[in-house]
Amino acid sequence: VDRTKLTYEKREKLANNPIAKKLFNIMATKKSNLCLSVDLTSTAKILDLLTKVGEHICLVKTHVDIIEDFSESFVTQLKQLADQFGFLILEDRKFADIGNTVSLQYSKGLYKIGDWADCVTVHSLPGEGVLKAISASVNGVSKGVFLLAEMSSEGNLITPDYIEQTVKVAAKYPELMTGFVCQNKKTFSDPGLIQLTPGVQLQSSGDGLGQVYNTPEKIILENGADIAVVGRGIVAAKNPEAQVVIYRDALWKAYAERVIN
């Protein structure tokens, strides 16, 4: 079967990882397959934006290491907004070290990512120790991983063999795997996993620093994305509240066109 033809409701039942199940459920309930990448450097700006757009997104993606005034109180407020609006939190840390270091980076330091992020991004480059370092639950709370199988940036060094090995290693960790960060429908076939695809914008085709953008229609209908990641298309818009609705509607329409009910 072609996973991209199945509804999010059907795929919720096929997911092993509790975060993937939750995400499929949120997507179907809120009718949103939009992940907002809040790449802002002040906590006030992040919280303010999420208060305005939270109702339209299924997932928020953070880069905590770009925030200049990070605090525990920020995490508390972020989690409150996630509860209030019903979205999950993905910290885009892109872990890429030996297992022991990743385990420390995940649970210690200033950010204590494992305490608050529902899921994190991980590079497969170091080998499967990086996946062993991230536990499927922290203090009884389920966690998930989006493994990077492909990148959106120009000239990235990922090869077809790297992609194939990445998908193979992920299959050994069904409890932990929420999905893949990737660009193509053929990258994986498991309908219980989520394809998260960045590099989405309506206004532009690139950013001068290697980012490559596609339209919502292309990434959902042709490239097989389940959730689209939009950053500057919304965050840097004159009116983010209006833009978020435009992206949400375009992405949902493309999904509705794609599935067989």
CB of 97 to ligand BMP, least distance (A): 17
Sign, CA dihedral 76-82-83-89, equals negative
Q: Does residue 91 touch ligand BMP according to CB under 6 A?
A: no
Residue (22 or 93) nearer to ligand BMP, CB: 93
Largest Cα–Cα separation, the chain: 47
Element (H, E) at 200: none
The answer on whether 258 is annotated among ligand-binding residues is no
Judged by CB under 6 A, the residue of 53, 78, 230, 250 near ligand BMP is: 230
Q: Does residue 214 touch ligand BMP according to CB under 6 A?
A: no
Q: Which contacts of 8-16 are long-range, i.e. CB under 8 A and separated by 24 or more positions?
A: 8/33, 8/226, 8/255, 10/191, 11/191, 11/192, 11/226, 14/190, 14/191, 14/192, 15/192, 15/193, 16/174, 16/175, 16/177, 16/192
Residue (12 or 47) nearer to ligand BMP, CB: 47
Judged by CB under 6 A, the residue of 7, 10, 25, 39 near ligand BMP is: 39
Size of the site for ligand BMP (CB under 6 A): 17
Judged by CB under 6 A, the residue of 198, 223, 224, 254 near ligand BMP is: 198
176's tokens: 């932990």
Judged by CB under 6 A, the residue of 60, 78, 181, 228 near ligand BMP is: 181
Residues 225 and 195: beta-carbon distance below 8 Å: yes
47's tokens: 């919280």
Q: Which of 22, 92, 143, 185 is catalytic?
A: 92
Residues near ligand BMP (CB under 6 A): 37, 39, 63, 92, 151-153, 181, 198-199, 201, 211, 229-233
